[in-house]
Amino acid sequence: MSTPIPSRIAALRQAMRQHHVAACLVPSADPHLSEYLPAHWQARAWLSGFTGSAGTLVVTADHAGVWTDSRYFAQAEQELAGTGVELMRQRTPHAPEHLAWLEDHLGEDAVLAVAGDSLAVSTRRTIARRFDATGARLRTDLDLPAMVWTDRPDLPTQPIVEHALRYAAETRADKLGRIRNAMRKAGATHHLISSLDDIAWITNLRGSDVECNPVFLAHLLIRLDGSGTLFVGRSKLTDATVAALAADGVHLADYSTITDALGELTPDDRLLVDSMRIVSAIGDSVPTPVTWIEGANPSTLMKARKGPVELDHIREVMRRDGAALVRAFRRLEERVTAGMPQTELDVDALLHEERSAQPDFVGESFSTIAGYQANGALPHYRATPEHHSALKAQGLLLVDSGGQYLGGTTDVTRVLALGETTAEQRRDSTLVMKGLIALSRARFPRNASGPQLDALARAPLWASGMDYGHGTGHGVGFFLNVHEGPHSIRPPISGGTLVTLDPGMITSIEPGLYKPGRHGIRHENLAVIVDADKTEFGEFQAFETLTLCPFDRRTLEPSLLNPEERAWLDDYHAMVRAALAPLLEDADAAWLERHCAPI
């Protein structure tokens, strides 16, 4: 029987007292600062019971709280109930963020402990600066959660495989050559990379150490002299893969020896690092005389700009994924209409069954969100055997799902009308659709950034006094993480870096609207940034929509769409029909034809 959450918090507090620690901070992070974590590093979830992907736990002698954003408020309230851990709402008026809260509650010489293998170098600097005024102290050499987590899962040991060159399009040697050119320009002799998607992209390798993300635990040290070391579990690779890596100058060392290797750097060495992607425990192992050259990992921008071969693969994947969605949605519609018992869990099973039948399918790109009626108002809802809803022949079902294929990664959201809908639901769905269309039709100058475009998707909602609490778009990897930087489309952040939207970058376009206890709406396509035209005012870019799946027009109120919006929706459905019809037969083809008819 698992230990109750209050007992886990009590054990942590006991460890804090033993080490004279006033507060313990437990972020959602691992030594690679990943968004999604192997079970071994899910200490925040284990201690608090909150399982959302974003959140920070702070424990003091008399308070325990999880800071998270509006996407997870309802989920956190449910999961934290009765645990003694309080929900602390982020990004809401008059509510302090966790660092501000710690400043107010930790006095002179009070110690804050954070495990050094889960804290970015840049974040540690921020905490140290903020503590200068209060006299509080930070320790990163104590992993207090590990001291009390007695049944902590082991590190994953899944095999690592080559990503075939016909998909990857660029050899490992060529990618390493491009990175060394960037190192040369920066004046670096060495480059350290810990972010797992960067490493997978550079090495043309894929794994499954993180659920739904085809990455593997590793660090990579690249030298300007043409050699490199991949710090990884040797048993995960075949002899043939090890030999292929060696032929490209990449040799292996044990995953745990990264700090030993960094400790051997000399005063003449100049190390290129991204301080936001390297944890303190690893940064501390670099000898003081070594020169740090701080900047973004060159590979992050390289892999975000998809090339022509990658985009051709992705377009084909979108056809196959769209056909799978049509088959799944058609079957679901028939079952619900016939009165067959169906739940949100059946939606997930249907999608998996149809995607699994597609060529080169590897797995889901994230856990499927199938939220019926009020559950759709929870942006990151996940049905479980213990908590799920039955479907009825009425109202709205929000389905956000995606697949990992050898030729690309998909992420698509559709809102389905399972029967009669209300005027409010149709109005809300149409306002969100107007935002998706506005952004999808946008023309923007080269060097524009996502925050400059975000308002286009929100304007129709703002005009009705409504908004949504998440970003409008995130980057998507190529058979890699479904959330990929450095670009995004979201409201401006004070002091935030503006990343330009470059041709070849893939982004989601996903405005939404959520009314707790009633319904949720989110329409989502993936699009790639392309060159549009050149005028006397400069070069302009546009979005090419990649996702191929009909929107359910029964969720819309056509009278709220203007002629340009109607034309865009009809043109989109004509494109979907042309692309998917050759892949579908009989009832599936008829369903496609019906749902792609002009509005």
pLDDT tens digits, one per residue of 281-296: 999 999 999 999 999 9
User: What is the rounded average pLDDT of the residues 527-532?
Assistant: 98
pLDDT at 495 over 80: no
Going by pLDDT thresholds of 50, 70 and 90, the confidence category of residue 446 is: very high
pLDDT at 71: 82
Sign of the CA dihedral running 262, 267, 268, 272: positive
All structural domains of the chain: 5-148 (3.40.350.10), 161-298 (3.40.350.10), 308-595 (3.90.230.10)
Q: Which residues contact 180 (CB under 8 A, 6 or more apart)?
A: 222, 224, 226
Q: In whole angstroms, give the CA distance from residue 373 to residue 209.
A: 34
Note the pTM of the prediction, 2 decimals.
0.95
Q: In whole angstroms, give the CA distance from residue 541 to residue 530.
A: 6
Going by pLDDT thresholds of 50, 70 and 90, the confidence category of residue 1 is: very low
DSSP characters over 452-486 = HHHHHHHHHHHTTT---SS-SEEE--SSS-SSEEE
Going by pLDDT thresholds of 50, 70 and 90, the confidence category of residue 497 is: confident
pLDDT tens digits, one per residue of 377-393: 988 888 888 889 999 99
Q: Specify the DSSP class assigned to residue 276.
A: T
pLDDT at 70: 83
Q: Which residues contact 244 (CB under 8 A, 6 or more apart)?
A: 162
pLDDT at 314 over 70: yes
User: What is the rounded average pLDDT of the residues 93-99?
Assistant: 86
pLDDT at 236: 98
CA 39 to chain centre: 17
Q: In whole angstroms, give the CA distance from residue 57 to residue 153.
A: 20
User: What is the rounded average pLDDT of the residues 262-272?
Assistant: 98
Going by pLDDT thresholds of 50, 70 and 90, the confidence category of residue 481 is: very high
pLDDT tens digits, one per residue of 102-158: 999 999 999 999 999 999 999 999 999 999 989 999 999 999 999 999 999 999 999
Please tell me whether residue 270 adopts helix, strand or coil conformation: strand
Q: According to DSSP H, which parts of 338-420 are helical?
A: 344-356
Residue 122 contacts residue 153 (beta carbons within 8 Å): no
User: What is the rounded average pLDDT of the residues 9-20?
Assistant: 98
pLDDT tens digits, one per residue of 198-225: 999 999 999 999 999 999 999 999 999 9
Residue percentage of the chain with pLDDT more than 70? 100
Nearest CA to 532 among 451, 442, 461, 595? 442
pLDDT tens digits, one per residue of 23-58: 999 999 999 999 999 999 999 999 999 998 899 999
pLDDT at 493 over 80: yes
R_g of the chain computed on alpha carbons: 25
